[in-house]
Amino acid sequence: MSVATGSIADRIQAVLAEQRTELRHVSLDIHSHPETAFEETRACATLCGLLKSQGFEVRRDVSGMQTAFVADGQSGEGGPRVAFVCEYDALRGLGHACGHNLIGTASAAAGISLLRALSESGVPGHIRVVGSPAEEGGGGKIPLVNDGVFDDCDTALLLHPSDRTMSVMWALACTHWHWAFTGRASHAAGDPDQGINALDAFVHAYTGISLWRQQLKDGARVHGFIEEGGTAPNIIPERSSGEFLTRARDAAYLDEMNTRFAAIFEAAASATGCTLELTKNETYKDLRSNRVLADRGHLHLDEVGLSPTVAKPWERVGSTDVGDLSYACPTIHPEVAITEEGVSCHTHEFREAAATEEAHDVMLRGAAALALTGADVISDSAVRDEVRSSFAAEPWRRPEWRGSGA
């Protein structure tokens, strides 16, 4: 039986129905104006304007990021605090092929509907909507976590569009690398011995990675691309560069992989006489869904008609900076199906699906499930205590997390 029954649940649904047209407009506006990592100026302003119009106190330029925001709303005096997390960055070259227009709008909608429902029902509680840029590369949640934005929150909730609906989302730990080899140009026919081939250095490195893959643990991934590999066929390439991702099921094994990855590139530089610039950028932790919240989320996804299935561990996984959030605060990141199974995100087809009427209907249903889960945490101390106990029992949790204390 759902805790969030009666007046609160009814009011959540009523607010979402009332706001349906405006929320669809917000989502479509973000979708039609894709902005990549840390450049999400329009999307950030659109979501902040929406939340401010609904009574939230909005702070922008948070944690040193111009496109991050924190919006706070209060019902009554005191009470627990629930966070809903917005994402709104687009993919380089593909636009909103991961559906972040839906993620950002759904989290804002969940926050708006739950705040209104609590206020109209006379239930004390605090709603925080956090705007997090650069999930697709840059890791906007990491500085927010490090600055304690979630330390006083009892839970953090957001959803992800997919081709399936599940209350538990799995995600690999991940490190983003930039690499560049520098050699020396020369005439490829007349004076090849005078050149130092930077493309050869990358071929060495890529071959080493390809051989290394055989010894990797299940679930580990190494993949990337070359951006520069030469300028003309009659010139020995003096520069090659690109990006790679290393991924693993847990942060500890990723550290081991990263040591080996760097050694492979260093060996390639030594073998070819090139110099190497190897930069380790953001690292995302693996996603650890809170068991109690996942159970509540599964129930509410079913209540709103999204019929979740039970997730198979580590099936078809990517990476997300929600992993870092899940180490700091009890978190779930359920998936909701906006298209038929087999249409993968990060494709042209998924980008088009993220703008359909069906996707926006699912977005609102998913927002309702998030809001209902948040209502459970705020209105039921037993649920809240279970969430805390489950999180506290994990040895990897962030020790200083304290929750609202309500």
Residue 394 binned pLDDT confidence (cut-offs 50, 70, 90): confident
Last residue of a domain, one of 284, 308, 328: 284
In the prediction, which pLDDT does 393 show? 85
Work out the end-to-end distance of the chain between its first and last CA atoms, rounded to an integer number of angstroms: 23
pLDDT 10s digits, 273-331: 999 999 999 999 999 999 999 999 999 999 999 999 877 777 778 999 999 999 999 99
Q: Looking at the domain assignment, is residue 220 inside a domain?
A: yes
Residue 70 scores a pLDDT above 90: yes
Q: Express as a percent the part of the chain with pLDDT over 90.
A: 92
CATH, residue 77: 3.40.630.10
**Model confidence pLDDT, tens digit, residues 19-47:** 999 999 999 999 999 999 999 999 999 99
Please indicate, yes or no, whether residues 164 and 214 belong to a single structural domain of this protein: no
Burial class of 164 by CB neighbour count within 10 A (0 to 12, 13 to 18, 19+): middle
325 shares a domain with 233: no
Same domain, 303 and 217: no
In a domain, 327, yes or no: yes
Residues 241 and 123 in one domain: no
Do 158 and 305 lie in a common domain?
yes
180 and 241 housed in the same domain: yes
The pLDDT of 372-382, averaged and rounded, is: 97
How many structural domains does the chain have?
A: 2
* Domain of 140, in residue numbers: 6-171+287-392
- C-beta separation of 81 from 125 below 8 A: yes
- The answer to whether position 61 is within a domain reads yes
Same domain, 45 and 167: yes
Closest CA to 316 of 225, 401, 221, 238: 221
pLDDT at residue 252 above 50? yes
Residue 153 sits in the same domain as residue 96: yes
